[in-house]
């Protein structure tokens, strides 16, 4: 799990002067703000980012061929919009939302990003921004759920957002009690 400060450092430290940086920031933000699995996010097509009423939503492709629709957090929406505007793929509705690149050319292909490619990207981005390099695809699910609960969200709603069938699964992602403050350590005295 990444702390709130590490998440800010990671998202703010990605070079977004090119489409690959915008893609990476949008992908990470989508996982963090929606508690989504990496496979659900990279399984999205352009049409899975859509407007319903006055809100923007994402349609996640979950396990077992199920779909899960979630409203998009305003920060993730901003990052997705910036990525899509530069990528110029909004009209390609059936094509992958998150795409690979041609080597180091910073040009997107029509091929869907795979889990191991996303994992390698996250490792690179964590190292580049000085964030915990143990970060992986699953890090953002735990980080998002913990942040949500720490800020007053309910575990029942976290379960719905994360599309967990059982609240006990959601509880596994709740890392609020894992942090130990220096004040507590200083209680140890000789």
pLDDT per residue over 160-175, tens digit each?
Answer: 998 888 888 777 777 7
Q: At 184, is the pLDDT very low, low, confident or very high (cuts 50, 70, 90)?
A: low
Query: pTM for the whole thing?
Result: 0.88
User: Are the C-beta atoms of 141 and 162 separated by less than 8 Å?
Assistant: yes
Residue owning tokens 């969200």: 153
Give the span between the Cα atoms of 126 and 52, in whole angstroms: 34
pLDDT for the residue numbered 180: 63
Q: pLDDT digits over 83-123, tens only?
A: 999 999 999 999 999 999 998 889 999 999 999 999 999 99
Distance (Å, rounded) from C-alpha 71 to C-alpha 67? 13
* Mean pLDDT (the chain, rounded): 90
Q: Name which CATH class applies to 4-135.
A: mainly alpha
* pLDDT surpasses 80 at 26: yes
Residue in 98, 92, 85, 96 with CA at minimum distance from that of residue 30: 98
Structure confidence at residue 182 (pLDDT): 60
Q: Which residue has the tokens 């942040």?
A: 147
């Amino acid at each position: 799990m990444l702390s709130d400060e590490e998440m800010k450092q990671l998202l703010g430290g990605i070079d977004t002067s090119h489409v690959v940086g915008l893609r990476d920031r949008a992908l990470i933000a989508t996982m963090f703000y929606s508690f989504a699995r990496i496979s659900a996010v990279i399984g999205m097509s352009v049409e899975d980012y859509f407007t319903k009423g006055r809100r923007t939503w994402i349609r996640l492709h979950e396990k077992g061929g199920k779909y899960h629709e979630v409203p998009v957090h305003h920060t993730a929406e901003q990052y997705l919009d910036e990525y899509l505007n530069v990528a110029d793929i909004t009209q390609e509705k059936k094509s992958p939302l998150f795409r690979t690149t041609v080597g180091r050319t910073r040009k997107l292909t029509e091929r869907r990003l795979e889990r191991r490619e996303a994992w390698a990207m996250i490792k690179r981005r964590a190292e580049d921004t000085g964030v915990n390099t143990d970060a992986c695809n699953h890090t953002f699910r735990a980080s998002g759920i913990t942040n949500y609960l720490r800020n007053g969200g309910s575990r029942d709603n976290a379960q719905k957002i994360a599309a967990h069938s059982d609240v006990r699964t959601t509880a596994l992602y709740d890392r609020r009690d894992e942090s130990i403050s220096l004040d507590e350590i200083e209680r140890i005295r000789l």
